[in-house]
Structure 1
Amino acid sequence: MSVFSEQRMLEAALPVRFGGSPGAKWWLNNENLIGAVKSCQSIIREHTESGMQCEAEILKEEENRLVFRIKASDDDTFLVVKVFPLRCLRHRLKYHWMKYRNRRFAFGEAVNLLIAADRGLNVPKVYGYGQMYGPCGLINKSVLILENLGNHVPIGDMLEKNRDSQEKCVEILSRATPFLVRLYRAGCNHISVNSGCIMLSTDGSQADDFILDFEYAKFYDSGDLELLMFEAATLAKYCRNFITGETIDKWVAELLDAVAIRDRVTRDSLTGRFRYHFNTQLSRKDRQKIGVG
């Protein structure tokens, strides 16, 4: 899909254009978000440019990412805002010429989330996308506004809480199986299915579990079993401090059952590929290539 097709997809999903304050453009799900966007802009500028403390709840702050929660309106509705700073001139120039828009930062993640939802993955709703400009009219921050998942916790946190019970940890890991099956059927290489991107509902309803962080994801026309084993192994690496090797082997067998792999030779071959990925560290570029062709 070309970047121009992705731009049209984003504009169709976010039809409301808002100029915001000078130096910003926004595409929104509905006009009721304009007030929240104004607050969002102030928070970003105060926190990232002035270093001031802000009233928003900071969820994550790293060199290349700021994530915070804000109130959407006068009611109790909240939104999650992800800010992607473009810190170097090279990134700003590439983003300006659309070189990065179809693969990185807020634009890339917004488009990937829309594709993921269309292919049946349970992901947060995209409510808005924004561009904030710096010197020379270049974008220096891209911003994503998402559905708040307040009653969910990362699978890693749930495993940590129950680490003294192997039985409960097995049950928690099994809740990840449907995600991996859906990723496989959606032809999606998430590239980093870790213990922080799978969000489990605290009420135990698996239908309300979510998967996050699609900035670097790639989508293909069909599923790939090599990719399935890679993504399963990636998650298992993050969970190995909570579950035994024997439990992981049983879980892989359960996963192969879920995608109807019955042939013993094929199962043994795929289990071997799982072990390879479990014991191999790949660069981000190499992870993105899995599933190609």
Structure 2
Amino acid sequence: MKWEDQRQSDNVEDQRDGGGEGGRGGIAGGRGLSLGGIVIALLASWAFGINPMTVLGLMGGGSAPAPAPSAQSHSGAKPQDAGARFVSTVLADTEDVWGGYFAAQQQKYPPPALVLFRGRSNTGCGLGEAAMGPFYCPADRKVYIDLAFYDTLRDRLGAPGDFAQAYVIAHEVGHHLQNLQGTTAKMDGARQRVSEREYNALSVRLELQADCYAGVWAFHSQQSKGWLEKGDIEEGLNAAAQIGDDTLQRRSQGMVVPESFTHGSSEQRTRWFKRGLESGELKACDTFKSGSV
């Protein structure tokens, strides 16, 4: 992926010196939408040495803390380490792609901020933990990522490559699109009306739609920049497969429980990412109207 010397976003907040740490509790009531989410939490005891039930209890609809103060940006120059420059470049391209897409519909696209943190960070949704993987908080419209997740993605989950990392950012920005479209609010309302199993099924559709949106971004990004190289698409598809619920459950607990899926199987995740990538159209990503996913 030819990302060097491309525009970097101004919407990056570097909290890695500890300014974003502190607070209590977890992501409030599941309102933080994460790439790995619940299944990443199942890997936490193995990968990060923490009790995954700490995360699972709250994301499963348990008692939630009051929203914590939003992380505050730090003044000064943009971070210049390679990891920060990379995510800033990918974020900038999502701004370009979705800004242009919305403009074509006579609409304005308000981009999300991206917060870099280490370990934990206060967010508008509560306290974010690195063990939860990258996540999007609808309350403050920010994407949060501890760049150490990319080491886990490469070394423990078997998904190396820069485009695999770009897919992670694009997926979380996909959740931002859902927030702008009102889909996130509908999901919050459904939580109070349906059973846990029904909500899990809705969550799968939400996550698969974000995967599809990531594919739409990749389609338009490649058309405008031509920056993808041989093997990049395969890296993205492999990343989607490696974080499928079935693959993660099999790795973490030796068995697969389909009714507990919240993000979709490996086959579903790769298929919906590919659908967005091949169509380049948001309308192709309506997982909620699809008879089956």
TM over 0.5: no
TM-score normalised over the length of structure 1: 0.30
TM-score normalised over the length of structure 2: 0.30
Q: Flag the structure with higher helix content.
A: 2
Q: Flag the structure with higher strand content.
A: 1
Which protein, 1 or 2, shows the higher relative CO under an 8 Å CA cutoff with sep ≥ 6? 2
